Amino acid sequence: MIRIFTGVHDPQICHDIEAMFEERKRVFVDLLRWDVPVREGRFEMDQFDTPGAVYLVETSAAGEHMGSIRLLPTDRDHLLGSLFPHLCDGPVPCGPDIFEITRGCLSPRLRAVERLKVRNRLTTAAVHYALMHEVRAFSCIADSGWLVQILSLGWRCRPLGEPRQVAGVNTGALLIEVAGDTIALLRAAGTYAHSEIDLAAPASLIAA
């Protein structure tokens, strides 16, 4: 099951959120050596992890984090607009109907085949979320490895500029269109993966 959380203000508000931030620390800080903030020595959280962020989180039946993504409204501070506008050859796309996909985190405990399945379920859930909330596009930043994966998913997307070096890694920005036929495009590419989606209560109302 994929649970969708909004209104998160505390990394320990519930088990799924706590496990997500802990996994982000293991992946982005311990494995990838990103220079990003760590809270309490356990949680990778940056300045964009605000109550306005939306989190899609998949956990196993045993409660282990399988994968997650963060969606940021672009009519407020977000990664591309605030930190990496130079990745766009023109204006940074932003507005209430554009969300930024960021912090895609897949558990390193998973085998490659299962990682792809989780990635596809999260991608599909993100598209369903966008269609339900009249989001017409996603922006994203990705290194060369992730750019190839994003382009291969089957949806319509276009580069926002030429890839540039960020911390020694070739990195680019994309705009991904979300429309009535996006689900069909994912199906045609073989990347559509249905999962039960639980629109969790706002995190501010969830007892820790």
Strand partners, 198: 3
How does strand 197-199 pair with strand 2-6? Answer: parallel
Q: Give the burial class of 62: count Cβ atoms within 10 A of its Cβ; 0-12 exposed, 13-18 middle, 19 or more buried.
A: exposed
Which run of H or of E encompasses 58? strand 54-59
pLDDT at 144: 81
Over residues 62-89, mean pLDDT = 96
pLDDT tens digits along 110-130 = 999 999 999 999 999 999 999
Q: Which two tokens stand for residue 97?
A: 């109907």
pLDDT at 100: 98
For the chain, report the end-to-end CA distance as a whole number of angstroms.
Answer: 20
Q: Between residues 207 and 65, which one has the greater pLDDT?
A: 65
pLDDT at 169: 87
pLDDT tens digits along 155-206 = 999 999 999 988 888 999 999 999 999 999 999 999 999 888 887 545 444 4
- The Cα–Cα gap between 203 and 205 comes to 5
Domains of the chain: 2-205 (3.40.630.30)
Q: Is the pTM of this model over 0.85?
A: yes
Per the listing, tokens 């800080």 go with 29
Q: Is 208's pLDDT higher than 70?
A: no
Residue 133: name the closest of 186, 191, 81, 178 by CA.
178
Q: What ranges make up the beta strands (E) of 17-136?
A: 38-39, 43-44, 54-59, 65-73, 98-106
pLDDT tens digits along 15-70 = 999 999 999 999 999 999 999 999 999 999 999 999 999 999 999 989 899 999 99
pLDDT at 7: 87
pLDDT at 201: 47
Per the listing, tokens 């500029």 go with 161
